[in-house]
């Protein structure tokens, strides 16, 4: 069976990616990261999603916290959603670059044909490492900087949500039977989602546009 590494945060997007990989017939090897994020609940969510899919192995990698983000520095407050063109303080420096690098190395070890990452350039917070040009550049790195690539064994970086709205992602998850009830998206990391941070607002907007009720609890309900 063909193998894939899935970057699994425990959120809506990465869980939808997991469902896409499963439906495509891949043997899934999810990879999650503890990078000092304040929303540690996502790691428990990732474990629950991995268990749902009965994966062979789920690795959680611990990375040193480089700070510089509201998600990793307790002195920086997570802001409420604001619609502007600025890169928000919830941006984590080089996060997807680090995650994909680990996934690429792991993929070489297990003989994976693909790496799935749940980035979107449509309904997102404006992070530079969620853009198509970043993905294209990393694919080139994967091809020229690995033994697999040098030997013509291309590991494809797949981002099936890249051009999907959040509503379309939710519809895709529903059609694939993805366990969105197990996911968490809130940046503040409380037992109930705050409903006001970037991630919560984008999630709620997506569910509203998809005409589906969000199965996770929020502070106001």
- The response to whether 194 counts as a known ligand-binding position is yes
DSSP letters, 138-193, are HHHHHHHSSHHHHTT---EEE-TTTT--HHHHHHHHHHHT--GGG----TT--SSB
- The response to whether 17 counts as a known ligand-binding position is yes
- The response to whether 130 counts as a known ligand-binding position is no
- The response to whether 13 counts as a known ligand-binding position is yes
User: What CA–CA distance (Å, rounded) separates 32 from 51?
Assistant: 13
Strands of the sheet containing 114-116, edge to edge, are 59-62, 27-34, 3-7, 114-116, 156-158
- The response to whether 162 counts as a known ligand-binding position is no
Q: What is the dihedral of CA 38, 162, 82, 99, to 10 degrees?
A: 20
Binding residues: 8-18, 186, 194, 197, 200
Binding residues for Zn(2+): 186, 194, 197, 200
Binding residues for ATP: 8-18
């Amino acid at each position: 069976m063909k193998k894939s590494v899935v970057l699994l945060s425990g959120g809506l997007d990465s869980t939808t990616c997991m469902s896409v990989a499963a439906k495509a017939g891949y043997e899934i090897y999810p990879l999650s990261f503890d990078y000092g994020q304040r929303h540690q609940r996502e790691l428990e969510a990732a474990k629950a999603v991995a268990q749902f899919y009965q994966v062979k192995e789920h690795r959680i990698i611990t990375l040193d916290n480089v700070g510089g983000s509201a998600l990793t520095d307790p002195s920086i407050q997570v802001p409420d959603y604001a619609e502007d063109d600025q890169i928000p303080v919830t941006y984590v420096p080089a996060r997807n670059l680090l995650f994909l690098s680990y996934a690429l190395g792991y993929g070489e070890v297990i003989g994976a044909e693909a790496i799935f990452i749940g980035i979107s350039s449509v309904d997102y917070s404006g992070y530079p490492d969620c853009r198509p040009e970043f993905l294209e550049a990393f694919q080139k790195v994967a091809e020229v900087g690995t033994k697999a690539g040098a030997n013509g064994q291309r590991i494809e970086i797949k981002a099936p949500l890249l051009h999907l709205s959040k509503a379309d992602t939710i519809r895709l998850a529903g059609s694939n039977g993805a366990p969105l009830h197990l996911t968490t998206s809130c940046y503040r990391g409380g037992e109930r989602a705050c409903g006001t941070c970037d991630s919560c607002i984008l999630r709620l907007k997506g569910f509203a546009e998809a005409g589906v009720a969000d199965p996770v609890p929020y502070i106001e309900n």
